[in-house]
Structure formats: structure tokens, C-alpha cells
Structure 1
Amino acid sequence: MEDIKLSQAAVPGATAAPHPAKRAARRHKPAFTPARLGIYAFLVTAAIVFLVPLYVMVTTSLKTMDEIRLGNLFALPMHLTVAPWVSAWTEACTGLACNGIRVGFINSVKIVIPSTILSIFFGALNGYALSFWRTKAANILFGILLMGAFIPLQVMIYPMVRVLATVHLFSSLPGIVIIHTVFGMPIMTLMFRNYYATIPGELFKAARIDGGGFFRIFLQLMLPMSTPIIIVAIIMQVTGIWNDFILGLVFAGQDNLPMTVQLNNIINTTTGERLYNVNMAATILTSAVPLLIYLISGRWFVRGIASGAVKG
């Protein structure tokens, strides 16, 4: 027995088993320490701050106007009604037209899908080129693209209006798609470049030895390996483009106004009585798509970030 103890002591890095009293102390460690209670208090407070407005919006949208006039803001509906939701979707006035917010939903879908696909594709292509096909001016080009991610949109609105008007794309669906693609490329390029920087260069060299060209390596090797960062990019672009207001207002045109602009028109329409229940229902409908995306794909977003979205 003594030989065994000596041999254990001679092994580098070997540690003795913890004393039974120490193990008991660990087992009986208090579940609620002051630090943990402080964290829970902060989390509960933050949840209340964020959820109370949503609660008010949902309950107000399910009330009749007679009940809303009573002034009980936090009270539950006495008589549930979905009529405000139906009216917001099909009948609410967005200015002179009273076709509901569904028109804006269709326009937002038409804008979001091509804008997301194009911005992610060109961002991935730029990141791939800047990571594996580096030239002497690669760092300068990357710096110029990166500057675009930090320039305020308002600075570039007027020049972009002039450019699109010159090529006859102003106030059109292709025009607003081009705008979102251009403004989304800098951050997409940054994300994909940093992600591709984590991929071993030997894979690219092996593909080059096998005769792979620029686009073949990109389409058959890099894109299939980019699933985590593509998911992050989709979430960011869809939510960002869907929630956009100023670009849609300026560049989309009267026939392609997105849902956010239509929501603003519904709330600011002052003909007759202001229907707060309809306004709340329209607001929830407008924010439903980004909310559902975060609820459904939140874990994939975290995985994508952890897989290299912010590395490099």
C-alpha cells in the first residue's frame, strides 16, 4: 500500500482524492448566492421591460374600442375579438387605399428574397476571393468594402437616388433590391472573409492541385462548408431588410412599399377615429416574421456565431 502511495506521488500531475469533508461541502453549496440572486433579478427585470410592451400590444389588439376607452391599459380583454386583426390585414387604410397591410407583406417578400440571396452570394464570393485568391491590392479593397459598413445610410441616399434615376431604376422593385444588395455586401464580405480565414488552406491547395478553378472551388467546396455562416447571414439580412423603413420609403416606389412603410401609413392615417386595436394588430403582424425567425432559428444563429462568424 505504501508503494502504491509513493508511486502515485511520483507521477507528475497526479493529485490526491479530495477529502470527504471537502466533497460534502461541495455537495451542500448554497443554491442561491448573492451573486446568483443578483443575476436572476437582472434577468427578470430585463424580461419584464421587454415583455410588458408586447403584452400591452397583444391585449389591446384583442379588445374592442369601447373597452379600450375605459383606460385599463394592463387589463385582460373582457370580450376577445379578432376583428382588429382581420381589419388590419384586409381593410386598414394606408393613405387613400384601404386594402390592409397584406399588400405591404407581399411587397416585403418580393424585396427580401432576392435581396437576401444576392447580398449573401456576393458577400460570400468577395470573402472567398479575399481569403484564397489574394492580390497585392486585396487588403486595400477589403478596407474600402469595410468602410461601407460604417458609413451612415443617410449620407449615400442622394447619390444613390441620382444613380438609379440615371439608369431608370428609381422607384422600382429591381432598384430597391439593388440598394439592399449593395448596402448588405460590406458586412456580408466581412463575415464570410473571417469565416473562410478559419478554413485550413490545405483544402484550397488540394482543390487547386486537382484542377479546380475559381468558381468550381467556390461552388463545390467552399459554399457547402459555409452552412453555419450562411444561416447567420440569412437571419441578419432577412431581419434587417424586413425591418428597413427609410430605404423602402425612398427607393421602392408607390407600388412596392414594404410592410414597415405601410404600417407607418396605417398609424398616421387620421381620417375618422383612431383605431388603437387595429394599429396594434398591424404592428404585431409587421414584426411577426423577424420574431418567428429568431424563435425558430435562434440556436442555429448561436451555432453559426460560435463556428467562426466573428473570428479572424
Structure 2
Amino acid sequence: MADVRTATAGQFEPAIASPTEPYGPRPRRAISRRNILIYGTLALVSLYYLLPLWVMVVTSVKGMPEIRTGNIFAPPLEITFEPWVKAWSTACTGLNCDGLSRGFWNSVRITVPSVIISILIASVNGYALANWRFKGSEVFFTILIVGAFIPYQVMLYPIVIILREMGIYGTLTGLVIVHTIFGMPINTLLFRNYFASVPEELFKAARVDGAGFWGIYFRIMLPMSLPIFVVAMIIQVTGIWNDFLFGVVYTKPDVYPMTVQLNNIVNSVQGVKEYNVNMAATLLTGLVPLIIYFISGKLFVRGIAAGAVKG
């Protein structure tokens, strides 16, 4: 009997896996053709985008004698921030030689109200279109979507006439209204898709508890919507701050935004071409949207992933 048990045990021993043997899928090698191709491509693309930035930064802290040597990729032998100071405070942007400081504050006065008003209105529009269907809501939504894809150039002159008749052409108020209107279609689409992804049971439960339109919006939807508000804010700040077309068409020199003044500095045909000042002015103009994105980048990704681009 003991021999049978021993033979039986010996017969089934090979079928029992040793606890020290590896199990599961075989791990991939860290260095393989696939990884080399992926990381090599990513490295080349990163270099492609970072190389111009490197040239701008190193040129902005060089003096003109060093720039004239022609080695644009070399780091500066002597760092100077005089080009940054001149770009901000003394560079000529047409008839005025007060640098980009005036245009910076003009851009702030344009961007802040345009972003706040357009996002607030678009969030209410998206909330109503997603949860409070009314007669003609689909037609209204279709009109908004069509408006988001109409080329700006088609409406430039009609808007000039409208602003002139309203008496606000050439003012910051007129430009704020233009940015607010043009920002609402795409933001309404974002908010509508985000609110449509919220469980409908939550909305119905609030209705049963007696909450109305504004009660549900302020107490339930608004606290849940921080990621999509960040998405809309980044889109609006980037679009409005970097805008050149509307700024040059709907304002006058005294209230030009920063981008228009940057164009006047870079394309000036008078005097010596100061490439270090031009690079410093370009970096100063792009700092605001860059800082905002780095601060709120994680929330931006969360907003996109939570339904910002869902149909």
C-alpha cells in the first residue's frame, strides 16, 4: 500500500508547479526594437519642438556682439537680462516706446472678463441643453455648433459695422464682447458633453428632492465641474491671449493687446534689428498661457478624460 502511495505521489509530482518557478506572462525586455523605435521617435519629436525654444532663450540673454558671430545654438558666454528689460519697458511698438508693459495690461483687461463671462454663460447653456430639454433645444445647439466652425474672416467686416453702430468700435469693451461671443459655441459643446456624462439618476434625485434649475446647477453640477471649467479656461485664455487678428482689427494703438505690440516690435524696419530683444519679447508674450497650463495641467487632463470631448 505504501508503494502504491509512493508511486502515485511520484506519478503526479511533475504536474505540481514548484512555488519557486515564475508564472504569468514573460516580462518584456527593457531594450527591444519596439522600445527603441518608440522612445527614439519621442526623443526626435521632443528635440524638434524644444530646439526653437532653446534658440529663443539663449538668444534673449546674449548681447548683440555675441549674436553677430552667427552661432545661434551655443549657450551665452555672458548672460545679460538687458534685452528683457528693454522688451518690457523701452522697446518701440510704433509711435510709443514703452515696451510691452502697456500691451500686457491691455491683454489682462481683455482676457479676464472675456474668459469669465464666456465660461459662465457657456456652462449654463451646456447644463440646460444636457438636462433641461426645451422646445427647439436641438436647433439652438446646432446653430451653436455651426457658429463654432464659421471662419472668423467671414464675419470681420459685419462685426466692425455692428461695433461702430454700438459706439464701441476701437475699445476694449468691444473686443471683450467679440471674444465672449466667439468663445461660447465651443465652450457650450464642452459643457454639454460633460454634463451629459453625469449620471442621470443624480439629476432626477435632485428633482425629487425639490431642487430647481439653479439649485441643481449651483449645488450639484458646479461643484462637480472643476475639471471641465479648467479645460474651458485653458482653451479660452490661450485663444484670447494669443489672438492677433481680432486685436488688430477691433482696437486702436492705445489699447492694442500684447500680441499686436509684439508684431510691431519684431517687424519694425527702423534702426538696428535687435534679435535678442525680439526673442525676449516673444517669450514674455507667451509666458502667461504657459504658466496657466503648467499650474492646471493635471485638471486639464482630468477634464478631457471625464467627458469633455465625448459625443
TM over 0.5: yes
1:160 aligned residue: 159
Superposition deviation, residue 25 in structure 1? 7.7
1:110 aligned partner: 109
Q: Which residue of 1 aligns with 2:221?
A: 222
Q: Distance in 2 between matches of 1:73 and 1:107?
A: 33
Code of the residue aligned with 1:144 in structure 2: it is I
Identity %: 55
Do structure 1's residue 253 and structure 2's residue 252 form an aligned pair?
A: yes
Q: Which amino acid aligns with 1:26?
A: R
**2:119 corresponds to:** 120
The alpha carbon displacement at 1:310 in A equals 1.3
1:198 match: 197
Cα distance between partner residues in 2 of 1:18 and 1:303:
44
Distance between the aligned counterparts of 1:213 and 1:238, measured in 2?
32
Alignment of 1:272-283 (within 5 A): 272-283=271-282
CA distance in 1, matches of 2:197, 2:151: 30
Q: How many residues get paired?
A: 296
Specify the alignment match of 1:35 in structure 2.
34
Give the Cα–Cα distance (whole angstroms) in 2 for the partners of residues 300 and 89 of structure 1.
32
**1:66 corresponding residue in structure 2:** 65
Tell me how far apart the structure 2 counterparts of residues 77 and 226 of structure 1 sit (CA, whole Å).
46
1:242 maps to amino acid: W
Q: Displacement, 1:198?
A: 0.9
Q: Secondary structure at the match of 1:85?
A: helix
Please say which of residues 128-137 and 144-153 is displaced more in the overlay.
128-137
| 1:273 match: secondary structure | coil
Match of 2:50 in 1: 51
Tell me the CA shift for residue 58 of structure 1.
0.7
* CA 92–17 in structure 1, closer or farther in 2 if over 3 Å, else same: farther
Amino acid in the other structure paired with 1:58: V
Paired with 1:217 and 1:178, the residues of 2 have a C-alpha distance of 28
Structure 2 unaligned runs (5+)?
Answer: 1-15
> How far off its partner does 1:294 sit?
2.0
Q: Distance in 1 between matches of 2:145 and 2:19?
A: 57
Aligned CA RMSD, in angstroms, stands at 1.9
Unpaired runs of at least 5, structure 1: 1-15
CA distance in 2 between partners of 1:133 and 1:25 (Å): 50
SS in 1 for 2:98: coil
Cα shift readout 1:133-159 (whole Å, capped 9, x = no counterpart): 112311111011001111111111111
C-alpha deviation, 1:114, in angstroms: 0.5
Task: Give the distance between the partners of 1:204 and 1:55, measured in 2 at CA.
Answer: 50
Question: Normalising by structure 1, what TM-score?
Answer: 0.90
How far has the Cα of 1:217 moved from its partner? Answer: 2.4
Tell me which residue corresponds to 1:284. 283
CA distance in 2, matches of 1:171, 1:19: 79
- Structure 2 Cα separation of the partners of residues 242 and 147 of structure 1: 24
Q: Label 1:204 to 1:23 Cα distance change in 2 as closer, same or farther (>3 A).
A: closer
Structure 1 Cα separation of the partners of residues 165 and 202 of structure 2: 45
Q: Which sits farther off after the overlay, 220-229 or 51-60?
A: 220-229
For the pair shown, which has the larger CA radius of gyration, 1 or 2?
A: 2
| TM-superposed deviation, 1:206 | 2.8
Secondary structure of the structure 1 residue equivalent to 2:123? helix
The 2-side partners of 1:220 and 1:255 are apart by 43
Partner of 1:77: 76
**TM-score, length of structure 2 as denominator length:** 0.90
Q: 1:32 to 1:18 in 2, by over 3 A?
A: farther
SS in 2 for 1:286: helix
3-state DSSP class of the match of 2:310? coil
Larger CA deviation: 300-309 vs 38-47? 300-309
Q: Distance in 2 between matches of 1:219 and 1:251?
A: 35
